[in-house]
Structure 1
């Protein structure tokens, strides 16, 4: 069974985002970029499936401009067997300006070509937090889906049992394969790419496909009108007694 793992290049989670001077979005020039943390978890789970005999091959796919190839090489250093780069226009920013709906359209074409038994994808990307790409992809393919997975077990007769996190706790579902699984952070702890594997990944070929050649509809549906920093919060104060606290809540904050 093949496992397809879509990964996204995002601003590193350790960096505080800054709004661009023209208010058009988040400034990405000169910032460290890395693989979306949720996609790292999805990739780790796929590699573990292969190591345990549940999968024969792990294929990573990323959508974006030329610099996105670095993310794919990191994925191969972590254990992926092959990489596919859907190349987009440099002018579109770090993700090529491709919205989740268009990403699902492009990934659908790759799925049709590769015929994987499982798509393992992060539940959301930390740059837009939309959490919809996996669901849209499953709907377009007509495949079962199990979102927010915190545990994955392959069962006999082409089925999988997924423990998924919900507001009230956890829910256990079974799906038939092929299926789309979206990974939550508690699914596993991703491994670090070792230096020898990083060096090997640099020499591995990456299959490059022009986004326009896939025939998918990538027309933007959203328009960003303005991006701005949140309003600064007033500093808090320290009170010396319960009486003073009650007085301020009643007379200043007027919440009592």
Structure 2
């Protein structure tokens, strides 16, 4: 019997969702993407859940799209621009806060998952990289808007054009994460913060969060449309074979930089 690709744990009013493909560094297979979307929708619909924490099974948070599946069939890439989702979102937005608890490497699509959270708490082992340019694909989950919004346009462009890793301390200084803690304290810290949020007036929390998102939408939504249009045009000439050819080199280069 195979292990579930997504683990669910409930601590009071806090729902913890854990990406669970550790041997593949929690790379996003079609099954994991679909399970994550279903898990978040279920949390949003559950009256016993006030806050969601998204994390990964060690040693990584998420290595992005599964390059083997991407190179073989591209099936997981087809889910990036799922017509059932708003443009530029990895999942249907939910009404409740999502805290990213980044425990290790968050790469490319994994970085986009972290950026889609309302804020991020990082382990000292966290590493962040955008390797879209190395792989030869373009972002479709809002990275070109959310990353510069978090760290500034220059830092964001440097990350995207080089593909180099940013460590936890650099991410904190840049504003990508709100806190860095010892690795073994990450989940407990995230739960304590989530419990603080969950202890507040929930209609007020959700209305305030919706207001933040609506206010940002005046800038965010047009930028997401530009990213989507660019990605769609790129996909017309995209070949999974090109990813398969680059896969070993991309993985090896990442190992060297992340060691």
Regarding TM over 0.5, the answer is: no
Say which one has the larger Rg: 1
Structure with larger RCO (C-alpha < 8 A, sep 6+) = 1
Q: Which has the higher strand share?
A: 1
Q: What TM-score comes out, normalization by structure 2 length? A: 0.29
